[in-house]
Structure 1
């Protein structure tokens, strides 16, 4: 059976962001030289989803579609499935498998914890009890997508000594970064660590950099530092590998609401042991 893995990036008006996704795809391909991995984008780039699906289907018996997207909102829940339904009609002999998006899970929690550790080093390792944390996401009209940040904030709270962990968004919904900073200053935080919840660079990452610089000027008595987007973290590659392997494993635990809990982790270990 010939399988094509189609990685679906969001796309950005910032060409550097699109180039990073291409470089990411190339690195993943190097890790699996025997896989056929292709790339397309939802918008704002050269190869869009309809073209990517059609090209992936040519000469393939099966296409695994994997959204390279952190949170499931309109693109993941509606737009990509609609395009898959259309291409199924054109290629009835090809099996199209729609894998889960990246999501908020234990691997992404590890990325956030590593990012927080890096920011704390920038701040000269202050007392975490006086150091507030803000997970900063893109923002969506989908409340479930926004809620994934709240879930990760709770997990981070339980795994660290930080007593104040908030979420904020760069657009669409609230609170915004400025409001979250003001709240943490009012609550007595003397340092603030900002953790961008993004995969790659783009216009919003540039905006965050400008906002952080302005906020550092606005609150000179507070040490404010920002982490980096996730980019090429090995945990992201690991998650994509899992998405591929799960399509071949009918007993593998799927992405559930309990993802990240100790019981699911034990279930995964049990499945791997059986194999």
Structure 2
């Protein structure tokens, strides 16, 4: 029987309509790269269609082999754990359709080019002319409880720093790990640079990007002698789509390599020894299918950060609970006022003075 290929693009999902719309745009861009295949996309939670629905559509279209790729920057818990769990469960239920999983966008020269383009847009739009050697770059990653994913953001920072010739560069994170944005920028302000460019290394909009920009404004108000520029996030830059299309081709070429050498579930990564050998299963099954009822109603497609007060109030209310000290460790570009009944292994550095617990102090 002739094999019929299909493509499944797997996202996390968001309460923010703008983030969901932008992910759909990315999926449409990939459809154009593979015009002869059925292409579907789906989310783990908080938006429809869910991954299961997309797989059903591909099966109904007669696909016998589905190439599934995660629409995620780095391989942390969602790409390493949750999406594979959903795909494996579906595969077990439908053995007539083979599902092969690809790797994340990862550190790639095309992703660096897309990031550089967003930073250059911010520099070109600046009103003043500050030499690059007197300009500092602050790259902001999402932050994860997986040190492998966090370390990749610092590699992105170095490649941009050296490639574009900034005077200095550092990395901070929007949540979960340290340093967070506000303390990271306060530290950066002490280094003596005339300009600081803040670049969110994010695919899509949402409350986290808005939080990064709000933190930037707050720190900038404390340092009027420094020019702060807010660069745009990656979105559907052509090089992002090129990278994801290449991830699909890697599956077909047999060069599909997920980085497991530094995975905290398999190796004793320094500081995370307690998580070696933990069962890898998705915690998203209980929210699959949430759509309109999960959608944030506080703003339209552009996230205004209106939910932040709810986030801070919730974090303040729960500050005595160890698993809430990191605002649920999710930071999925949506409001965090929902209830999660799944368990996360405690982040080993939740008490770091520049990290997760410092977010509660704003409450």
**TM-score, normalization by structure 2:** 0.67
How far the C-alpha of 1:127 sits from its partner, in A, is: 1.2
How far the C-alpha of 1:33 sits from its partner, in A, is: 2.6
Q: Residue 166 of structure 1: SS of its match in structure 2? A: strand
Q: What's the counterpart of residue 67 of structure 1?
A: 70
Q: Residue 192 of structure 1: SS of its match in structure 2? A: strand
1:14-52 deviation digits (Å, cap 9, x = unpaired): 111101111222233234332211010111102222333
Q: Residue 66 of structure 1: SS of its match in structure 2? A: strand
Q: C-alpha separation between the residues in 2 aligned to 1:85 and 1:77?
A: 12
Q: What's the counterpart of residue 205 of structure 2?
A: 201
Q: What's the counterpart of residue 328 of structure 2?
A: none
Asked if 1:141 corresponds to 2:145, the answer is: yes
Q: What's the counterpart of residue 97 of structure 2?
A: 94
Gaps of 5+ in 1: 258-275
| Larger RCO of the pair (alpha carbons < 8 Å, separation 6+) | 2
Asked if 1:218 corresponds to 2:222, the answer is: yes
How far the C-alpha of 1:241 sits from its partner, in A, is: 1.4
Aligned pair count reads 256
Q: What's the counterpart of residue 185 of structure 1?
A: 189
How far the C-alpha of 1:143 sits from its partner, in A, is: 0.5
Matches for 1:18-57 after TM superposition, within 5 Å: 18-57=20-59
**TM-score, normalization by structure 1:** 0.87
Residues 119-128 or 106-115, more deviating: 119-128
Q: C-alpha separation between the residues in 1 aligned to 2:138 and 2:230?
A: 9
Q: What's the counterpart of residue 249 of structure 1?
A: 253
Higher helix share: 1
Q: Residue 153 of structure 2: SS of its match in structure 1? A: helix
Q: What's the counterpart of residue 167 of structure 1?
A: 171
Gaps of 5+ in 2: 261-363
Q: What's the counterpart of residue 14 of structure 2?
A: 12
Q: Residue 13 of structure 2: SS of its match in structure 1? A: coil
Residues 45-54 or 95-104, more deviating: 45-54
1:212-246 deviation digits (Å, cap 9, x = unpaired): 22233222111001111111111111112111222
Q: C-alpha separation between the residues in 2 aligned to 1:161 and 1:54?
A: 48
CA contact (8 A) 1:67 1:101 kept: yes
CA contact (8 A) 1:70 1:102 kept: yes
Q: Residue 198 of structure 1: SS of its match in structure 2? A: coil
